[in-house]
Structure 1
Amino acid sequence: MDNYRSKRIGAVVGVFLLSIALGMHDGNQEHLSDLVTYALNNTALFSKILEQKLDQD
């Protein structure tokens, strides 16, 4: 695995974990499934934005 790919995977995992932390702090996600769905939606959005940015470069 090259350095670029490992950084990208690290960024996506970081966004997922940050989304879980923010969802827990916000208190809007009462159940674990809601929290995971919230985090996955944020991660998918971040991944899409990252792909578009990398395609431009």
Structure 2
Amino acid sequence: MVAWGKTAQIIEKYVTKGKEVAIEGKLTSRSYDDKNGNKRYVTEIIVNELLMLGK
């Protein structure tokens, strides 16, 4: 997950490992070369909305 602005602040403050969340966003894929020259692939969700579930 990738979040920016207010959403990122909320995640940082309230979301911990094991918490259930529902997110809405855009799925993106990208690639890059690491420092050893190997091609790496990353798939991320760019968060638009976050809903905290459970307790």
Larger radius of gyration: 2
Give the TM-score, by structure 2 length: 0.25
Give the number of the structure whose residues are more often strand, by fraction: 2
Give the number of the structure whose residues are more often helix, by fraction: 1
